[in-house]
Amino acid sequence: MAVSGEQPIVIKKVKKVVGGGHHGGAWKVAYADFVTAMMAFFLLMWLLNTTSPEQKQGIADYFAPASISSSTSGSGGILGGTSLGDDGAKADGKMSVIQQMAPEAPTETDKDGQSSTSASLDSASEQALRDALAKKEQDSFASAAQSLRQSLQDMPELAELSKQIMIDQTPEGLRIQLIDQDGRSMFKENSREPNDRARILLRAVAKVINQLPNRITISGHTSASAAGKRSDSDWSLSAERADASRQVLRGAGVDEDRIYQVSGKANSEPLYADDPTLAGNRRISIVLLREKPVLPDGL
């Protein structure tokens, strides 16, 4: 303890900071690096603006490992003076730039003077157009078939007769067949004139035919006899029934010019080949033909 009357002794410790200020001197180094980088950047920008394209190409070739040539310049630097004579990347500062173009494909011409490439393009365009028209015709056939089925369902007098109509698409076109059933014949026995049932069906078919521009063929078919033999009269009978059907279609508004063929096939093409004597083999077949598309001029 201190003696009374004496002042207490206070000891102060002062830490000396070495480094040049409150933050030290590290910021000066970082700032110097930043200024150096900016100077290098602006120097690069200046060089890019002042050098010619040939000199730029020479610089690029200089740094390319495979581009090595003997120097004929005085300084030997990449920006040294150029000299006449040998091309060089490292010394001359410029070089000849040769662009090699891809060889053109040989053009073959036909006897009319049209190139084969042009001919193939025209052929491809024509085929694409044919495919588009064929698809359009296919859709039209499907729409017509649906229209006929719908009309048979909507009209009470046709609902019962719908079982005697068969609609399908064949390579020839849209085929509509009016088929006999047991006890429901469309023609009287050995008669060429269609009965009332057949006339109703033919008028319904005529409405569908008039929706499309396609030509039609009409063929008559008979069934074989119980003995399975053909009769000479079947040929004339089937042809007469087909012609009688044509007359009904004409009366329903089908243009005469659209009827391409009327034929009688007797029992040569039975619908039910397993049993040619079935009533279903007696039928009238109407086909809306697939037409070859008419292409525009120039194709």
List of domains in the chain: 23-96 (no CATH), 129-289 (3.30.1330.60)
| Listed range (96-100, 112-116, 136-140) with the worst mean pLDDT | 96-100
Exposed/middle/buried for residue 246 (C-beta within 10 Å: 0-12, 13-18, 19+) = buried
Q: Using alpha carbons, list the distances in angstroms from residue 38 to 33, 42, 46, 49, 154.
A: 9, 6, 12, 17, 88
Residue of 192, 184, 183 lying closest to 165 (CA atoms): 184
pLDDT classification of 105: cutoffs 50, 70, 90: low
User: What is the DSSP annotation of 260-296?
Assistant: EEEEE-TTSS-SSTT-TTSGGG-EEEEEEEPPPP-PP
Q: Is the pTM of this model over 0.75?
A: no
DSSP tag of 192: -
Residues 119-131: what's their mean pLDDT? 66
- Phi-psi group of 73: left, alpha or beta (phi > 0 → left; psi -120 to 50 → alpha; rest → beta): beta
Query: Which residue would you say has higher pLDDT here, 126 or 297?
Result: 126
What is the per-residue pLDDT across 191-242, written as a single tens digit (0 to 9) for each?
899 998 899 889 989 988 888 888 999 999 998 887 766 677 899 999 999 9
CA 15, distance to chain mean position in Å, is 86
What is the number of H-type helices and E-type strands within the chain? Answer: 6, 5
What is the per-residue pLDDT across 49-89, written as a single tens digit (0 to 9) for each?
888 887 877 777 777 765 444 444 455 554 455 544 455 44
Rounded CA-CA distance 232/298 in Å is 52
What is the per-residue pLDDT across 168-200, written as a single tens digit (0 to 9) for each?
888 898 899 999 887 788 888 888 999 988 998
pLDDT classification of 243: cutoffs 50, 70, 90: very high
Proportion of the chain above pLDDT 70, given as a percent: 66
**Dihedral sign from CA coordinates of 222, 223, 227, 230:** positive
| Average pLDDT for the chain | 75
